[in-house]
Chains A and B, each alone.
Chain A
Amino acid sequence: KAGVTQTPRYLIKTRGQQVTLSCSPISGHRSVSWYQQTPGQGLQFLFEYFSETQRNKGNFPGRFSGRQFSNSRSEMNVSTLELGDSALYLCASSLAGSGRKTDTQYFGPGTRLTVL
């Protein structure tokens, strides 16, 4: 079974631009969660999607948004990029996510975003 895939793997953008990151979950997984990883703040939860609905959200500004499609693939969008948005963005998929907490979350390799 293929693992979680994320595209692109690397991105370089300039301040003020917007960016869209994509995540394809493991087949059969309906929950996708997004995390931001930085050296200073560590791993922080952005949001979780399940069956095309945002089920949970972390403490990030409205510039960070996401969506999920009927095939469970998810996209994350960051508008008006700031230097502080430079990070590794990880997505993780699971069968039911927060609906069943014992589910293992499987992580993708991440997208490394650099904002200049």
Chain B
Amino acid sequence: AQTVTQSQPEMSVQEAETVTLSCTYDTSENNYYLFWYKQPPSRQMILVIRQEAYKQQNATENRFSVNFQKAAKSFSLKISDSQLGDTAMYFCAQYGNKLVFGAGTILRVKS
């Protein structure tokens, strides 16, 4: 069975600082993909970044990067130079044969 665990229900960070959101997962699949999605308040969910499990290199997208530790089944998201617009619920998700989400982390960026 696929499971995704986000152990931080809420986090806050000062504008321009760096924050890391944690995620661990479990799966019996060999071929899977990992994602971070962002859901701003009352707005649509959008993809932030994705990682193919067979790739050792960590994915990066501008200010967003991941630390993918396959053996430890860990997939954390680092947001650099945090901006007010980064305030949102962040979901870690794994795609084996379906997309399974973690419980989410509410991130608040403070000015």
Q: Which residues of A contact B (CB under 8 A)?
A: 3, 33, 35, 42-45, 48, 56, 58, 90, 92, 98, 101-102, 104-110
- Let me know if B45 and A101 touch, CB within 8 A: no
Establish whether residues B102 and A45, one from each chain, have CB atoms under 8 Å apart when the complex forms: no
Contacts of A98 in B (CB 8 A): 95, 97-98
Chain B interface category by residue count: 20 to 34
B contact residues vs A (CB 8 Å cutoff) = 31-33, 37, 43-47, 50, 52, 91, 95, 97-104
Q: Would you call B33 and A56 a contact (CB within 8 A)?
A: no
Query: How far does the alpha carbon of A101 sit from the alpha carbon of B33 in the complex, in Å?
Result: 7
Q: How far is the CA of A110 from the CA of B33 in the complex (A)?
A: 24
Q: 28 A-B pairs, CB-CB below 8 angstroms?
A: A33-B98, A33-B99, A35-B99, A35-B101, A42-B101, A42-B103, A43-B91, A43-B101, A43-B104, A45-B99, A45-B100, A56-B98, A58-B98, A90-B45, A92-B45, A98-B97, A98-B98, A101-B32, A101-B95, A102-B33, A104-B47, A104-B50, A105-B47, A105-B99, A106-B47, A107-B37, A109-B43, A109-B44
